[in-house]
Amino acid sequence: MSWSKAEQARRAGAELKDGDIVNLGIGLPTEVANYIPEGISVMFHSENGLLGMGPFPTEAELDPQIINAGKQTVTYVDGASMFDSSLSFAMIRGGHVDVAILGGLEVAQNGDLANWMIPGKMVTGMGGAMDLANGAKKTLVLQTHVSKHGESKLMQKLSLPPTALKCVNRVITELGVFDCKGDHFLCIELAPGVTREEATQHTHGDLRFASSVN
């Protein structure tokens, strides 16, 4: 047993606090918008120049000139503002964004993140990821724990070119929730049915468990 993608996104949503300014990366992190806990209100920042991003539009609301950083058509909520790219990244680098939820290829136990290239294989560019990982007050990563080839993506040291150093606070994978503690990962929660042995076996870095974890 482990968490589905939707359950991972829901678990990430539970990290958010009322009033947070939140930036969601492309892919699975975008789904977190569907799992904001009841009674909590957050403002979504999209780095292409929108603070106060709303849900996807209905056909009647569709406007090609309102998009998110994934180039999807979106809407905006009351209180939203729009601005240029330089101001948008001043918000990010300047520490005015509370939480960035990013996708990851690898996370190291000291908080180093790799998510923008695999030499010789994948080239997408870093987009806003380097600024977000460095600038947000808190960086959460949503990613798979193990690659398709069975290799751990929670590393002692990164094997891929970094996006930013010592920036990740917490990783949420299909197996559980893991904090980057410098010289080890600290598991603070396991997905239902996942054992300590299983998590340890699939973690390349040094893994410890909070006493509250079964």
Partner 1 sequence: MKVYPDAKKALEGLESGMSVMSGGFGLCGNPEACIKALAESDIKDLTVISNNCGNAGKGLASLLQNRQVRKVICSFIGGNPDLAQQYLAGEIEVELNPQGTLAERIRAGGAGLGGFFTPTGVGTPVAEGKESREIDGRTYIFEKPLKADFAMVRAAVGDKFGNLRFYRTSRNFNPIMAMAARVTVAEVDKLVEVGELDPDDIHLPGLFVNRIFQAEHENPIEHRTVREA
Site residues (vs partner 1, CB under 8 A): 46-50, 55-60, 62-67, 69-74, 82-86, 88-89, 92-93, 112, 123-131, 134-135, 161-165
- Report how far residue 96's alpha carbon sits from residue 100's, in angstroms, rounded to the nearest whole number: 11
At its nearest, how many Å lie between partner 1 and the CB of residue 62? Answer: 6
Q: Which of 31, 47, 106, 174 is catalytic?
A: 47
Q: Which residue has the tokens 């690898």?
A: 106
47 is catalytic: yes
* 149 HSE (CA, 13 A, CB side): 2
Q: Which residues 6+ apart lie within 8 Å of 154 measured at CB?
A: 106, 107, 109, 145, 171, 173, 178, 185, 202, 203, 204, 205, 207
At its nearest, how many Å lie between partner 1 and the CB of residue 168? Answer: 13
Between 132 and 172, CB nearer to partner 1 = 132
Between 34 and 200, CB nearer to partner 1 = 34
At its nearest, how many Å lie between partner 1 and the CB of residue 28? Answer: 15
Q: Phi/psi class of residue 121: alpha, beta or left (left: φ > 0; alpha: ψ in -120 to 50)? A: alpha
At its nearest, how many Å lie between partner 1 and the CB of residue 102? Answer: 13
At its nearest, how many Å lie between partner 1 and the CB of residue 124? Answer: 4
Token pair of 112 as six digits: 């180093």
Instruction: Name the 3-class secondary structure at 11.
Output: helix
Q: Output b/e per residue, 33-56; b: 16+ Cβ within 10 A.
A: bebbeeeeebbbbbbbbbbbbbee
173 close to 145: Cβ distance less than 8 angstroms: yes
Between 124 and 195, CB nearer to partner 1 = 124
Between 162 and 208, CB nearer to partner 1 = 162
Between 14 and 77, CB nearer to partner 1 = 77
- Report how far residue 168's alpha carbon sits from residue 179's, in angstroms, rounded to the nearest whole number: 8
Cα 120–chain centre separation: 25
The residues annotated with a catalytic role in the active site are 47
